[in-house]
Amino acid sequence: MLLIPCPYCGNRPEIEFSYGGQAHIARPPVPEELDDDAWGAFLYARDNVRGPHRERWRHLHGCARFFNLVRDTRTDRIIASYRVGTPCPRVEPL
């Protein structure tokens, strides 16, 4: 069970959180302007990262806030935790 640093509450066990998939995929402001391929990519195309992965989490059974993590998918090491709307901290490339 991961120990997840919620940027609002601090370290909490994974059981308090829900996972929200890859981060930084903004909903297009005017969806009708996207062609079918671009919209399909927004809906379904996701990275399958081996290494640092930027992902959304929600502290569902705590402050209930969404936030972002950078987690190394090889080791589960958590590299960064930051609030929604703030830029992702620089992560060293693999």
Partner 1 sequence: MFRLPKRGLVDHGAPLSFSFDGRRLTGLAGDTLASALLANGVHLTGRSFKYHRPRGILGAWADEPNALVTVIRGGGRSTPNLPATQVELFENLVAFSQNREPSLERDRWSINDRLGRFLPAGFYYKTFMWPKSFWSRVYEPRIRAVAGLGVAPEQADPDRYEHRYAHCEVLVVGAGPAGLSAALTAAESGCRVVVCDDRPLPGGSLLSAASATIDGLGAREWADTAVARLSSMTNVTLLPRTTAFGYYPHNLLGLCERLGDHLPGEPAGPRERLWSVRAARVILATGALERPLVFPDNDRPGIMLADAARQYLQLHGVAVGRRVVIVTAHDAGYRSAHELHAAGIQVVLADTRPAAIARSTPFRVIPDARIEGTRGTLRVSAITISHTGRSERIDCDAVLMCGGFTPSIHLASQSRGTMAWDAEVQAYVPAGSAEAECSIGAAAGRLELADALADGCRAGRDAAAAAGFAARRIGTPRASVDHSVGQGGIIGALPHGRDPAKVKAFVDWQNDVTARDIMLATREGFRSIEHVKRYTTTGMATDQGKLSNLNSLAITAAQTGRPVEAVGFTTFRPPYTPVTFGALAGAARRDLFDPVRQTPIHDWAVAQGAVFEDVGLWKRARYFPRASEDMQAAVNRECLAVRGSAGLFDASTLGKIEIVGADAATFLNRLYVNAWDRLAIGRCRYGVLLREDGFILDDGVIGRLAADRFHATTTTGGAARVLATMEDYLQTEWPDLDVWLTSVTEQWSVIAVQGPHAREILTPLVQGLDISADAFPHMSIGEGTICGAALRLMRVSFTGELGFEVNVPSSHGHAVWEAIWRIGQPLGMTAYGTEAMHVLRAEKGYIIVGQETDGTVTADDAGLAWAIGKTKRDFVGKRSLARPAMKAPDRKQLVGLRTLDPAKLLEEGAQIVGPDGGPSLGHVTSSYYSANLGRSIALALVRGGRALEGHRLRVAMPGGGIEVDVTNPVLFDPKGKRLDG
Summarize as ranges the residues that interact with partner 1 (CB under 8 A). Answer: 1-3, 13, 18, 20, 26-28, 30-32, 34, 36, 39-40, 43-44, 56, 58, 60, 64-66, 74-78, 84-85
Whole-number minimum distance, CB 60 to partner 1, in Å? 7
Residue 55 Cβ, how far from partner 1 at the closest point, in Å? Answer: 13
Q: What whole-number distance in Å separates Cα of residue 72 and Cα of residue 37?
A: 30
Torsion of CA 62, 24, 90, 52, to 10 degrees: 80
- Residue number, 10 or 28, with CB nearest to partner 1: 28
| C-beta of residue 89 within 8 angstroms of C-beta of residue 82 | yes
Q: Which residue's CB is nearer to partner 1, number 34 or number 46?
A: 34
Closest CA to 71 of 59, 56, 60: 56
